[in-house]
Chains A and B, each alone.
Chain A
Amino acid sequence: MAETHSLQDMRPQAAVAAKVFIQRDYTNGTVCQFQTKFPSELETRIDKQQFEETVRMLNNLYAEAEKLGSQSYIEGCLACLTAYTVFLCMETHYEKMLKKIAKYIQEQNDKIYAPRGLLLTDPIERGLRVIEVTIFEDRSLTR
């Protein structure tokens, strides 16, 4: 699992002011999608478009991971024929996508969110239930 606490290790001085939790969006069923509604707590910190773009991108990545297409069917049938032993040596499509998602979140944190005193937690660490956004205290205002 990707370690997303690295940014917290780098800034031990910053205190957590609040945490916002972006909930799941179930309008299309049980597929993993998150609500793109912009939480009010982040209004002062980040641009609405930017944030919605991040969540939309994450939704696309998760949708691709759970896509029911020929690739998933072939993977499923092949795995069944080998009594699922093929997964001992091969990574599943979903796992590959999760790695991509972890990389994307790390990238977004480094480029966009950390400079604004925010931190996105990979939803896999919260059971794919929420995207946890940690808001750090804005030190620049207190100086």
Chain B
Amino acid sequence: MSAVMITRKVRKWEKLPGKNTFCCDGRVMMARQKGVFYLTLFLIIGTCSLFFAFECPYLAVHLSPAIPVFAALLFLFVMAMLLRTSFSDPGVLPRALPEEATFIEMEIEAANGNVPAGQRPPPRIRNVQINNQIVKLKYCYTCKIFRPPRASHCSICDNCVDRFDHHCPWVGNCVGKRNYRYFYLFTLSLSLLTIYIFTFDIVHVVMRSVDNGFLNTLKETPGTVLEVLVCFFTLWSVVGLTGFHTYLISLNQTTNEDIKGSWSGKNRVQNPYSHKNIIKNCCEVLCGPTYPSVLDRRGLMQDDSLVSATGAAQSSSSSNSTLQSTHAVLCLQKTTAPLIPNEHTPDDAKPSIAASAEKSPSPKEELPPASKLPPLASPETDAETSIAKDKTH
């Protein structure tokens, strides 16, 4: 039984490990569970449609035509920020290639020295001094790297994310260095939009009731009742969340650090990243440089796979990758890539025979994601600190 090795070009996103979904040939990157994100879309678009259908005609005539215009602009801004947050790379750190992983292991072994048999080796921690504070860098067993400061491993997306804030099911993505400002602007503009719609709903009902009576008004515009309900419940959560993130930004902290209490408490280290100036902190987080993605999702790479003579393709890439490498198809893709990306290195071009591509669970990092109703923020569950809190904001 002979086997033929075929080499073809695939986009790098098809080979990325981690539990992300990619769309539009790698241009869009999201988490796997998108149900709550669709709910968010439905609520925003639905409520705004009702507003434009029921309230705006009346208010444009009786008050001012600027009202629907401003609402439309605000709605477009909210959608732009939501889509930007959901579809962009949050700041995922690529996993270490085999040589780098080996190099780090050798360094760790050299640092640990001889461990007597039967004893557990010391935890893999590197101490660095940042602005005269000692910060511990933890080793990620899944990604085989020492996590940069402020980075954290998201167990839902199975990636290390730089400046990890939290995994937000409402936007269907992690919130990290690259998309935090879009997330903040989304919550801020959504708060404004909710307050705006709520206020003008009340104004509209009052104005109409003066002419027609309260019950008749409700009969004429049933959409108003629905809008008021949605806005009322949304207001509390979204405005609260915006306030919380404004507080975090002024202190240059992440939700993850806040939940873990990294910088609070007497004996703890003070936040070394804060400029100790609210304006400077806000400027850095909101108006800082726009960091590029280091993932290069749309780059091309060689994919070597073994195809047996019987015809069953034993390729490690996902089944539709041949299509994907030639067209940009608008469909959702699940990557079933192996743990370490199969990059073509100059010295060895070994074929990737891992057909099932089942990830061997690393001893410390496998924890199931939260199974209850999605809270507004799911902190990453880091096995080494054994914290499994869920905080609903």
Contact = CB atoms under 8 A, between A and B. Distances in A.
Contacts of B182: 84
A88 B182 CA distance: 16
Given A8-B346, A26-B128, A26-B148, A80 B296 contact: no
Contacts, number: 103
Given A21-B100, A84-B80, A94-B292, A26 B149 contact: yes
A142 interface: no
B294 A66 contact: no
A5 to B, nearest CB: 7
A76 B347 contact: no
A8 B347 CA distance: 10
Given A1-B299, A19-B103, A127-B94, A29 B130 contact: yes
A65 B294 CA distance: 15
Contacts of B295: 127
A142 B185 CA distance: 62
Nearest to B295: A127
Chain B contact patch, size range: 35 or more
A92 B296 contact: no
B204 interface: no
Contacts of B52: none
Interface stretch (B29-37, B221-229, B283-291): B283-291
A67 B94 CA distance: 24
Contacts of B299: 1
B346 A65 contact: no
Contact of A24 (B76, B80, B148, B272): B148
B290 A67 contact: no
A141 interface: no
B135 interface: yes
Interface stretch (A52-60, A104-112, A128-136): A128-136
B80 A83 contact: yes
B289 A1 contact: no
Nearest to A78: B287
Interface residues of A, number: 43
Given A15-B347, A19-B99, A126 B94 contact: yes
Contact of A27 (B96, B104, B128, B292): B128
A79 interface: yes
A30 B93 contact: no
A130 B93 CA distance: 12
B289 A30 contact: no
B289 A93 contact: yes
Given A15-B347, A21-B100, A132-B100, A125 B296 contact: yes
Contact of B130 (A1, A21, A26, A87): A26
Given A26-B148, A30-B150, A127-B294, A65 B289 contact: yes
The 9 closest A-B pairs by CB, nearest first: A76-B287, A83-B80, A127-B94, A127-B294, A8-B346, A16-B347, A26-B128, A73-B287, A92-B290
25 contacts: A1-B296, A8-B346, A19-B100, A27-B130, A27-B131, A28-B130, A29-B149, A30-B162, A30-B163, A68-B283, A68-B284, A68-B288, A68-B289, A79-B290, A83-B80, A85-B80, A92-B290, A92-B292, A93-B290, A126-B94, A127-B93, A127-B294, A128-B294, A129-B96, A129-B100
Interface of B: 76-77, 80-81, 84, 93-94, 96-97, 99-100, 103-104, 128-131, 135, 137, 145, 148-150, 162-163, 182, 185, 272-273, 283-284, 286-292, 294-296, 299, 346-347
Interface of A: 1, 5, 8, 15-16, 19-21, 24, 26-30, 65-68, 72-73, 75-77, 79-80, 83-85, 87, 92-95, 98, 124-130, 132, 134
Given A76-B288, A124-B296, A129-B100, 17 more contacts: A19-B99, A19-B100, A26-B149, A28-B131, A30-B149, A68-B284, A79-B290, A83-B81, A84-B182, A87-B290, A92-B289, A92-B290, A92-B292, A93-B290, A94-B289, A125-B296, A129-B145
